[in-house]
Amino acid sequence: MIEKIDLWFEERMGWRPIWKALALRNIPKVTWAYTLGSATLLVMVNQILTGILLTIYYVPSPQDAYNSVSFITNEITAGWLIRGLHHWGASAMVILAGLHMIRVVVHGAYKFPREVTWFTGLGLLAVTMAFGFTGYLLPWDQKAYWATTVGTRMLEVVPVIGPWLLRFARGGEELSAVTLTRFYGMHIWVLPALLMLLIGIHMFLVVRIGISAPPKASETEEEGPELEVEA
Amino acid sequence: MSTPRPDQENPEIIGGQRVLGVVPGKPPGGDRKVLDEQEPVMVWPHLLVRHGVAALVVIGIVLVLAIFFDAPLREIANPTLTPNPEKAPWYFAALQELLSMFHPLVAGVLVPGAIILGLAALPYMDRSTRIEPRFRKVAVATFTIFMVVWIILTIIGFAFRGPNWGWVWPWQEWYGEL
């Protein structure tokens, strides 16, 4: 059955070379620590799916934001679950991205020729935190309002451009309807576009260059593996 | 390579090599092939199966959290009622803690700037071709110290701070918010 489906698509799309390029290639023997990146990616997919569902009922205005979130949580079938998945997924994504970065540093995987993978990874970590920060405001409850007040106030300490940064983030001197629509626009349009771009480069490079070998444990080993580009 | 006919079977692939023929009998090296530590493996199944298992575990954890702990929703935002303490989201707790300890220019600009620059410049500061941590003690030690300090500051800012950013024991009063 699976062969038939495979053949049907192969004759129409020629997808076997893609599978071969992605999955039927040699890599160094890996450990469980190498799954942290893909786990982050999976949580990202969870965030996209649940996030899209949340936008169906969410209304980004100070009058309606809180009520719409309350409606999602209390009235809509499984709304509480969708929102719960999005809420806990956000923290999981920050933690997993952080653990993934620790793995990469410990394994020295940022070294030549993987610098661009490393830079895009740092960008992805920053985008993840920006996602968390902008999403935090959207329920428009006390916690959201004041956490964003504190968070944006941190921008003010930057010399020279600090006050401007603060007004740029808030869309004024104080948090208002402008802040909410601004954060919403960032959260569902600007940041996802950035995320797609960075993750596209990041994952292309992971496949194109090949993953790095885990460091050897043995102390007696004289020669380490030379860094090399996998064709 | 000639174009494969659609009905042609994929050649069997063992250890990255296409098998052109099968010779009956026992292999001269013994029955089982013991994989060398340095020998490459295939993405499928070696890496993808692990990815699948890890994915199930992670989505299981998030699902259990979502089912048993509702996403919090407090009372509606009130700009005239400032809560005490005001807490930033937990992943900024370390930064908030730093801001309470040092001059804003140090905690808000110099330290975050140094972290971003330091991480971005890692491939250029840790320049040896060796990847084993024992040959990169400075890089790994510096990063480890940074991570440990950052995690401790995050935990303090998240769970050990109460009104007026004063010290509280989390088992006595809880002010942490997710």
Domain boundaries, chain B: 40-71, 90-165
Cβ <8 Å between B92 and A42: no
A229: in domain: no
**Smallest CA–CA separation between B56 and chain A, in Å?**
9
pLDDT of B67 higher than 60: yes
In chain A, DSSP assigns E strands to 26-27
Tens-place pLDDT, residues A44-63? 999 999 999 999 999 999 98
Map residue A26 onto helix, strand or coil. Answer: strand
Q: Assign B109 a pLDDT band (cuts: 50, 70, 90).
A: confident
Cβ <8 Å between B13 and A25: no
pLDDT of residue B4: 54
Residues of B whose CB is below 8 A from A116: none
In angstroms, the CA A155 to CA B43 distance is 44
A2: in domain: no
pLDDT of A219 higher than 60: no
User: How many Cα neighbours within 13 Å face the side chain of B59?
Assistant: 16
Tens-place pLDDT, residues A67-95? 999 999 999 999 999 999 999 999 999 99
A47: in domain: yes
Residues of A whose CB is below 8 A from B77: 62, 66, 140-142, 144-145
Chain B, 96 to 115: residues with Cβ < 8 Å from chain A are: 96, 99, 104-105, 107-109
Q: Assign A171 a pLDDT band (cuts: 50, 70, 90).
A: very high
Q: Assign A34 a pLDDT band (cuts: 50, 70, 90).
A: very high
In angstroms, the CA A207 to CA A182 distance is 36
Residues of A whose CB is below 8 A from B164: none
Number of A/B CB contacts below 8 angstroms equals 227
> Domain range for residue A190?
31-209
pLDDT of A226 higher than 70: no
Cβ <8 Å between A38 and B51: yes
What mean pLDDT is predicted for residues B141-165?
A: 94
Chain B, 132 to 161: residues with Cβ < 8 Å from chain A are: 132-136, 139-140, 143, 147
Residues of B whose CB is below 8 A from A34: 47, 50
Asked if B156 and B95 touch (Cβ cutoff 8 Å), the reply is: no
pLDDT of A168 higher than 70: yes
Q: State the CATH number of the domain containing residue A111.
A: 1.20.810.10
What mean pLDDT is predicted for residues B89-107?
A: 90
pLDDT of B158 higher than 70: yes
Cβ <8 Å between A24 and B42: yes
Q: Does B78 touch chain A (CB under 8 A)?
A: yes
High-pLDDT (> 70) share of chain B, %: 80
A149: in domain: yes
Q: Assign A146 a pLDDT band (cuts: 50, 70, 90).
A: very high
Q: Does B80 touch chain A (CB under 8 A)?
A: no
**Smallest CA–CA separation between A193 and chain B, in Å?**
22
High-pLDDT (> 90) share of chain A, %: 78
Bridge partners for A178 per DSSP: none
Q: Assign A157 a pLDDT band (cuts: 50, 70, 90).
A: confident
Chain B, 34 to 73: residues with Cβ < 8 Å from chain A are: 35, 37-44, 46-48, 50-51, 53-55, 57-59, 61-63, 65-67, 69-73
Structurally, how many domains does chain A consist of? 1
pLDDT of residue B134: 87
Chain B: residue whose CA lies nearest to A35: B51
pLDDT of residue A231: 43
Residues of B whose CB is below 8 A from A28: 38, 40-41
pLDDT of residue B135: 87
pLDDT of B126 higher than 80: yes
Least confident of A25-39, B3-17, B70-84, B98-112: B3-17
Residue of higher predicted confidence among B105 and B5: B105
What mean pLDDT is predicted for residues B52-73?
A: 95
pLDDT of A106 higher than 70: yes
Map residue B42 onto helix, strand or coil. Answer: strand
Cβ <8 Å between A149 and B53: no
pLDDT of residue A218: 58
What mean pLDDT is predicted for residues A159-168?
A: 92
What mean pLDDT is predicted for residues A214-224?
A: 60
In angstroms, the CA A40 to CA A195 distance is 13
Q: How deeply is B177 buried, as exposed, middle or buried, from its count of CB atoms within 10 A (0-12, 13-18, 19+)?
A: middle
Map residue B25 onto helix, strand or coil. Answer: coil
Q: Does B169 touch chain A (CB under 8 A)?
A: no
State the average pLDDT for chain A. Answer: 91
A132: in domain: yes
What is the predicted ipTM?
0.87
What mean pLDDT is predicted for residues B23-37?
A: 64
Comparing CA positions, the residue from A107, A132, A139, A114 lying closest to residue B92 is A132
In angstroms, the CA A64 to CA A139 distance is 10
Asked if A28 and B16 touch (Cβ cutoff 8 Å), the reply is: no
Asked if A127 and A198 touch (Cβ cutoff 8 Å), the reply is: yes
State the average pLDDT for chain B. Answer: 85
Chain B: residue whose CA lies nearest to A21: B43
Q: Assign A221 a pLDDT band (cuts: 50, 70, 90).
A: very low
pLDDT of residue B50: 94
Question: What's the 3-state SS for B118-163?
Answer: HHHCHHHHCCCCCCCHHHCHHHHHHHHHHHHHHHHHHHHHHHCECH
pLDDT of residue B176: 87
